Structure formats: C-alpha cells, structure tokens
C-alpha cells in the first residue's frame, strides 16, 4: 500500500497517517517530523531549517527532494509507505513523479483531507505535542493530566512554535499559494480522492479505509 496524504495544515494528516501506518504495517514518512527531529538533534539540516519552520515557510525544494530520495532508498519503504507533508510544491511533485517512475511504482493513492479553514486555525492553536513521542493531542484532552497518554512521559506537552495563530495563518497562505497547485497536477492525472476531515478521527479513518477499498477493490484485507 502506497499512500500520499495531502491537505492543509491541521487537517489531521499526521493523526491519520499514524493510524494507517499501524494498520497496514507500513512506514509513516512525515517530512515535518523528520525536520523537527533534525532541529532537535541540531544536525546541519536542522540548524538550516530551524528558522524556516518557526516562521511557517517552506524548506527549499532541493533539500526536501534529496531528503525524500534518501528516505526512499531505505528498505523499510520497499513494501509501502504513507507520505505525509510531501510534495508541498509543484517542483516537489514533479520530482516525486520522476522518483516513482524510476522505481516503477504506479499504484500510489493520493488522499486529500479537507476541512473549513477557521476550524483548522482553532484546532491548531488548541493542539499540544508530546516532546517525547511526537503524538499530538487536543489541549482539552490533556489539560488536567501531566502524563502523555501514549508514551507516559511526564510534563512533555508543548505548543509547537509554528502553531501560534500568526504563523498558522501564514502556513495556510503558503498552502494556498504554493501547495494547492500540487492538487491540480494530480487532479489532471485523475489520482485524487477527497476525504471530509471535519468529523471525528474514527469517522475520518473509516472513510479513508472505504475510499481505499473502493479504489483498490480489496475489501476483506483492510476492514477497520
Ligand atoms: P508539517 O509537520 O507537515 O506541518 O511540517 C512542518 C514544517 O516543516 C512546515 O511548515 C515546513 O516549514 C516544513 N516542511 C515539511 N515538509 C515540507 C516540504 N515537503 N517542503 C518544504 N517544507 C516542509
């Protein structure tokens, strides 16, 4: 199974990718997570990317394309992947098409999760990440608890620097101007499946599974 999860910041790509990754036993490749880890580890990439992430800008296409090429070399990606956060520009989409062609991969499913912009701004300002395991929670779920429900780390919740309202609005603008055209590119190839991201996490997962079943015709192996 090879999936690209596409959609505006905050629409739930990361949450759904983690669920699907566990379900299908395929790696979740989040370019945002890779970059944040590099910043945390202060690698040369992290040092270069830090300010860009904090401002809600995009890291350069060349850097991101090389990063994805390297990731695809990894044996873990051989039997499938869920790509979350890439491609984010037309140049990245063209590069990805070329990489997939070279690897003779032609069964990618592109799922676009959609939701109302104001709802997303509210969601993002209300979300907290766990510094230890990277899972994301709604502030209301964890406000009375200082322990991460997933990894049990204590006092590990934080608001991502790029989840302040000003930066969120900028990330939305970057999505509309630079990332949205990627969708038109894949629309032309008839590859896009739309998923309504406004309902509960469980409902969105169900709809994704149904959409995958409808596209692949394989029902029994992937029931929820
Ligand atoms: P995300 O966690 O996917 O929202 O990504 C967080 C930040 O990482 C973005 O706002 C960008 O600064 C950077 N980033 C992640 N993926 C890409 C990409 N494909 N191209 C450029 N920048 C990216």
CB atoms within 10 A of CB 115: 19
Q: Same structural domain for residues 107 and 121?
A: yes
From the candidates 131, 160, 169, 215, which is the catalytic residue? 160
CB contact at 8 A, 208 and 11: no
Domain membership flag for residue 110: yes
Q: What is the mean pLDDT of each run of 10 residues along the chain (224 residues)?
A: 95 95 94 94 96 96 96 86 97 97 92 96 91 88 89 92 90 96 95 95 96 84 48
Active site residue 131: no
CB contact at 8 A, 37 and 133: no
Q: What is the CATH number of the domain that holds 177?
A: 3.40.50.300
Q: Is 7 in the pocket of ligand 1 (CB under 6 A)?
A: no
Q: Is 92 in the pocket of ligand 1 (CB under 6 A)?
A: yes
Out of 8, 30, 35, give the residue to mutate to test ligand 1, the one with the largest number of ligand atoms within 8 Å of its CB: 35
Q: Same structural domain for residues 178 and 68?
A: no
Domain range for 34: 30-78
pLDDT for 222: 52
What are the φ and ψ backbone dihedral angles of 85, each rounded to 5 degrees? 105, 5
Q: Same structural domain for residues 121 and 168?
A: yes
Q: Same structural domain for residues 9 and 49?
A: no
Q: What is the pLDDT of residues 11-70, one digit of tens each?
A: 999 999 999 999 999 999 999 999 999 999 999 999 999 999 999 999 999 999 999 999
**CA 56 to centroid of ligand 1, rounded, Å:** 8
> Domains in the chain: how many in total?
2
Q: Is 12 in the pocket of ligand 1 (CB under 6 A)?
A: no
**What tokens appear for 131 in the block?**
């510094």
Q: Same structural domain for residues 117 and 174?
A: yes
Q: Same structural domain for residues 72 and 87?
A: no
Answer with the one of 78, 107, 141 that is the final residue of a domain. Answer: 78
Phi and psi based region of residue 6 (left: phi greater than 0; alpha: psi -120 to 50; beta: remaining): beta
């Amino acid at each position: 199974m090879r999936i690209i999860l596409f959609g505006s910041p905050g629409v739930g790509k990361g949450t759904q990718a983690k669920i699907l990754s566990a379900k299908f036993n395929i790696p979740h490749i989040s370019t945002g997570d890779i970059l944040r880890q590099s910043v945390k580890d202060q690698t040369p990439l992290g040092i270069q990317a830090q300010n860009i992430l904090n401002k809600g800008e995009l890291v350069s296409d060349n850097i991101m394309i090389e990063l994805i090429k390297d990731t695809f070399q990894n044996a873990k990606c051989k039997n499938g992947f869920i790509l979350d956060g890439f491609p984010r520009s037309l140049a990245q989409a063209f590069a990805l098409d070329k990489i997939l062609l070279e690897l003779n991969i032609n069964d990618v499913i592109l799922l676009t999760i959609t939701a109302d912009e104001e709802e997303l701004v509210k969601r993002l300002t209300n979300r907290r990440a766990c510094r230890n395991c990277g899972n994301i929670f709604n502030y209301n779920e964890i406000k009375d608890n200082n322990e991460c429900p997933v990894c049990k780390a204590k006092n590990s919740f934080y608001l991502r620097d790029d989840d302040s309202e000003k930066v969120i609005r900028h990330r939305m603008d970057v999505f509309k101007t630079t990332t949205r055209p990627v969708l038109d590119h894949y629309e032309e190839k008839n590859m896009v499946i739309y998923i309504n991201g406004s309902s509960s996490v469980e409902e969105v997962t169900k709809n994704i599974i149904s959409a995958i079943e409808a596209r692949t015709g394989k029902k029994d192996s992937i029931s929820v």
